[in-house]
Structure 1
Amino acid sequence: MMSGDAMAHAESMIVRRVIGHNAALAVDGEGHEFVALGRGVAFGMRPGDALDRSKVEQVFLAGGDAASDRLTEHLADTPLSCVRAAARIAELAHERLDLRVTQALILPLADHLHFAVQRAEAGTVMEYPLLWEVSQLYPREFAVGREAVTIAREVLHTGIDDDEAVALAMHLVNAQFTKPGIGAAMQMTETIAQAFTIIERTFGIHIDRHSMNAARFVTHLRYVFARVDSGKQISDPHPTLFDAISNAHPEAIACAMKLQYLIEMGFETQLTLEETAYLGLHVARLVLDVTERTKL
């Protein structure tokens, strides 16, 4: 089945370059370059030929000579089956997580699946030290990641390892950021894990990572990271909030300033006073919930 992008370019597909039997660099009637994928879609084709629309399964827009070269080189090395599996996973993520199905999501997933297949065939097991953190901090993405492993096995006919769900989940987490790759998502995961440790040591408490209290705090941190990533931090031209929360929750604000340093170092950014103030407020709420639960 073709994606929405494919449908938009399917009326006029003229081959510019054959990449392989299953891929071709083509141009539409408006001069937009794209790579068309499909079983045998480019077999026997020559530059200037019109592609058979019925064979086109997926379309990836190129945009410029350099971009076209990078995209064609990338897709020439990626099996069509991996792209198919990635597209199905992206559709699942759209249904479960409301993520947009874009080539920025499909291509990294396909790339990861390609290497996962190679690891499986070589008998190499990839260790993911953040498995526990990912499963606890991003349960929805991890659940989709586990289903994604099942989809990959069905489509690729390869027994990829269960733990690949961790990396696939991280791709889905990172799809909520503007930067490519899973570096930001991995940094976020490590930062959240470290934040819990800092709060526990500061207040001498134990935080149940499975609790709703922990989930609410994680949600707040994820919104902080999203605002930092988009350059839209909370900011008040009359900074009275920080002073008010400092007076009401001095220990929580002191802890929040430790978290502020942690975030700033990890993401090479600077938090506003208001972001730190709200961070302190959520620390205070988390600590209060935990301590009250302990008394029960």
Structure 2
Amino acid sequence: MKIHKILNNNVIVTLGNKGQERIITGRGIGFKKKEGDLVDQALIEKQFSLINKEIIPRFTELLSEIPLEVITVSEIIINRAKTELNQKLQESIYITLTDHIHFAIERHKQGFNIPNGFLWEIKKLYANEFKIGEFALDVIKQRLNIQLPEDEAGFITFHIINAQLNDTMSNIVAMTKIIREILNIVKYYFKFEYDEESLTYQRFITHLKFFSHRILNDNFTTTHDPALWDMIKQNYQQAYLCTKRIDLHLINQYGHALTEDESLYLTIHIERLRNELQNIAQTA
């Protein structure tokens, strides 16, 4: 395997059998080397073979600018997220998260930490992703000896969600706001407190996450079944009326009226929550 490009002392680029670029990191792997030299296999620490060719130039540029220790930390966090969430993440996270962590560290060294106004919502609405954010702070502390504030765990959580949904960061923030608003409507309509540990609640949060994502991206498909919708309205009347209230809110705040498919699935999730909490109240 020969060196195709040298980005810095710790990062080089090689070419695969089909001409695809492979980015290799390792301490000193590019030191006193030139293009065409053989790669010292013993120095290889990480290899990146990105499928998305559009992000390769930006990623290679980033690797040439950021310390190897930060790159390693970022990859540890990304691998943990893939394992714990059991989801494929967009390759762009290698750029966005690595860049964010590097910038956050530099800001912190200068005594400039940015407060996260959505930290409470992030903890409540994206509990599994936030655990990765907390893990990230631990890894940064252990490997870089830098203790970032808890607000940064929230920002890292946003990057993970962004990589799940392939959306913009501003949309992720807007999604969080929509989810919070819908949860409050349901909560005050039925006058109950959520059991945030219940599977039903977690399923509702997951549904709202993808639901709000579709609202912000105008991405909807219709599989309307009139008979099923009529049955849902008849049998789940209170949940349906709550859904109508959500519909009115979304029209007023976002100019988005629920489709019948959206209303149907929201009503089903709300009914499950209502039943579960009602049963808990009756047995208490």
- State the TM-score, normalizing by the size of structure 2: 0.81
Shift of 1:220: 3.0
Which residue of the partner structure matches residue 124 of structure 2?
136
Q: Is 1:157 matched with 2:142? A: no
Which residue of the partner structure matches residue 19 of structure 2?
31
> 2:159 & 2:237 partners in 1: Cα distance?
38
Shift of 1:262: 6.2
> 2:130 & 2:176 partners in 1: Cα distance?
13
8 Å CA contact 1:33–1:63 kept in 2: the answer is: no
Report matched runs for 1:12-91 at 5 Å.
12-15=1-4, 17-61=5-49, 67-91=55-79
Which residue of the partner structure matches residue 7 of structure 1?
none
Which residue of the partner structure matches residue 197 of structure 1?
184
Assess, with a 3 A threshold, how the Cα gap between structure 1 residues 14 and 259 changes in structure 2: closer, same or farther.
farther
Shift of 1:240: 2.1
Q: Which stretch shows the higher mean deviation, 65-74 or 241-250? A: 65-74
8 Å CA contact 2:88–2:164 kept in 1: the answer is: no
> 1:26 & 1:242 partners in 2: Cα distance?
57
Query: How much identity, in percent, do the aligned residues show?
Result: 26
8 Å CA contact 2:91–2:163 kept in 1: the answer is: no
8 Å CA contact 2:178–2:212 kept in 1: the answer is: no
- State the TM-score, normalizing by the size of structure 1: 0.79
Q: Is 1:92 matched with 2:87? A: no
Shift of 1:258: 4.5
> 1:78 & 1:262 partners in 2: Cα distance?
45
Which residue of the partner structure matches residue 133 of structure 2?
145
Assess, with a 3 A threshold, how the Cα gap between structure 1 residues 242 and 166 changes in structure 2: closer, same or farther.
same
Assess, with a 3 A threshold, how the Cα gap between structure 1 residues 269 and 112 changes in structure 2: closer, same or farther.
farther
**Secondary structure in 2 matching 1:44:** coil
8 Å CA contact 1:36–1:57 kept in 2: the answer is: yes
> 1:219 & 1:89 partners in 2: Cα distance?
22
> 1:41 & 1:264 partners in 2: Cα distance?
57
Which residue of the partner structure matches residue 196 of structure 2?
210
> 2:86 & 2:115 partners in 1: Cα distance?
29
> 1:198 & 1:232 partners in 2: Cα distance?
23
**Secondary structure in 1 matching 2:47:** strand
Assess, with a 3 A threshold, how the Cα gap between structure 1 residues 41 and 224 changes in structure 2: closer, same or farther.
same
Which residue of the partner structure matches residue 114 of structure 1?
102
8 Å CA contact 1:187–1:266 kept in 2: the answer is: no
> 1:265 & 1:219 partners in 2: Cα distance?
24
**Secondary structure in 2 matching 1:163:** helix
**Secondary structure in 2 matching 1:96:** helix
Shift of 1:53: 2.6
Q: Which stretch shows the higher mean deviation, 121-130 or 27-36? A: 27-36
Shift of 1:222: 3.4
8 Å CA contact 1:108–1:181 kept in 2: the answer is: no
Shift of 1:62: 5.9
Assess, with a 3 A threshold, how the Cα gap between structure 1 residues 92 and 265 changes in structure 2: closer, same or farther.
farther
> 1:267 & 1:37 partners in 2: Cα distance?
46
8 Å CA contact 2:130–2:157 kept in 1: the answer is: yes
> 1:188 & 1:206 partners in 2: Cα distance?
23
Q: In the TM superposition, what whole-angstrom CA distance separates every residue of 1:19-39 from its partner, at most 9, and x where no partner exists?
A: 211122332232112332221
Shift of 1:139: 1.8
> 1:270 & 1:52 partners in 2: Cα distance?
60
Q: Which stretch shows the higher mean deviation, 153-162 or 207-216? A: 207-216
Q: Which stretch shows the higher mean deviation, 266-275 or 105-114? A: 266-275
Assess, with a 3 A threshold, how the Cα gap between structure 1 residues 18 and 270 changes in structure 2: closer, same or farther.
farther
Report matched runs for 1:159-178 at 5 Å.
159-177=147-165
> 1:75 & 1:244 partners in 2: Cα distance?
57
Point out where structure 1 has 5 or more consecutive residues left out of the alignment: 1-11
Q: For 2:270, which of 264, 278, 283 is the aligned residue?
A: 283
